[in-house]
Amino acid sequence: MTGGSPYGSTSGSPGGVARKSEIAHSLRPMTIYQLIQASQAHTDADWILDDHEIGQVTIVAYIASVQTQATNSQFMLDDGSGRIEARHWIDSSVDDESEKNGIVEGAYVRVLGSLKTFGSKKYINTNLMRPVSSPAEIYFHLLEAMTVTLIWERGPVKLTSKNNAAGSNTAYLTQPTVVSSDQFSHLPNLHRLIISFMRSQPPHDEGVHVGAIARAVGGDAVTISDAVDKLMDDGLVYATVDDSHFKLID
């Protein structure tokens, strides 16, 4: 289930606009408690948690209740750390198949979107909501959210040669190994790094967010976006739910 309302415009210097765009396209796994703790200086400011800016967020939670109105559906989500409302704006030209897709009260779902407020109440403006396909995804998300939080607080872990010899390899601690297949040997190193990282991720219908790719392989958002665009032109990846999520072509 996809949806959501426009983010609105940004103002200021070109550099400020570019910075806002980069933040808006980053994706951070979080808990509901962290979303509740986030704050903003004013209604148009970026959300901040522990002195770090927040763009797009993803959470995994179960649906405690559902309220459907003419223009939107409101889902009360609970992940054990807190509760927050998620709003999905209904496109009148498309049939709402939430129940058919398993997005019902009591189901666990993954939600992607942005943090908003109405009055003094926080909610998630959803871009994507889908049922959780495996219990392992719930635990994986919690571990991922903790890992990302620790990296923001303390910086990436510096592995010793002993760690490397033991084969320690995660997307958050080391860069993915470049694929050695002859199929991709003609590609630039950055393109092969991106393909390796995408191959290492659990399969999801929405694919991999460009922000996650940038964090894993290193580099600024513009460079990564240009590289992904080139991979699309070469017929190796394709966009899924929006212009920020991609999957490899089998």
Q: What are the tens digits of pLDDT across the range 106-138?
A: 999 999 999 999 888 999 999 889 999 888 999
Element (DSSP H or E) covering residue 230: helix 221-233
What's CA 60's distance to the chain center, in Å? Answer: 11
Q: Which CATH superfamily is domain 20-154 in?
A: Nucleic acid-binding proteins (2.40.50.140)
R_g over Cα of the chain: 19
Task: Please list the alpha-helical segments (H only) found in 25-69.
Answer: 32-37
Residue 183: its pLDDT value, please?
A: 66
| Sequence-separated (6 or more) residues with CB below 8 Å from residue 23 | 46, 53, 54, 55
Residue 6: its pLDDT value, please?
A: 32
Tokens of 170: 């995660």
pTM for this predicted structure? 0.58
Q: What are the tens digits of pLDDT across the range 221-247?
A: 778 888 888 888 888 888 888 888 888
> What are the residue ranges of CATH 1.10.10.10 in the chain?
189-248
Rounded distance between C-alpha atoms, residue 88 and residue 4, angstroms = 6
- Residue 104: C-alpha distances to residues 63, 67, 95, 129 (Å): 7, 11, 16, 11
Is domain 189-248 given the CATH code 1.10.10.10 in the classification? Answer: yes
CB atoms within 10 A of CB 248: 16
Rounded distance between C-alpha atoms, residue 224 and residue 242, angstroms = 16
What pLDDT tens digit does each residue of the chain (250 aa) get?
Answer: 655 433 333 334 444 445 444 555 578 999 999 999 999 888 888 888 988 888 889 999 999 999 998 888 999 999 999 999 999 988 766 666 665 578 999 999 999 999 999 888 999 999 889 999 888 999 999 999 998 888 888 776 665 555 554 444 444 444 444 444 456 777 888 888 888 888 877 777 788 888 778 777 776 777 888 888 888 888 888 888 888 888 888 7
> What are the residue ranges of CATH 2.40.50.140 in the chain?
20-154
Residue 61: its pLDDT value, please?
A: 96
Residue 79: its pLDDT value, please?
A: 95
Residue 156: its pLDDT value, please?
A: 67
Rounded distance between C-alpha atoms, residue 206 and residue 149, angstroms = 23
DSSP-assigned letter for residue 179 = P
CB atoms within 10 A of CB 193: 23
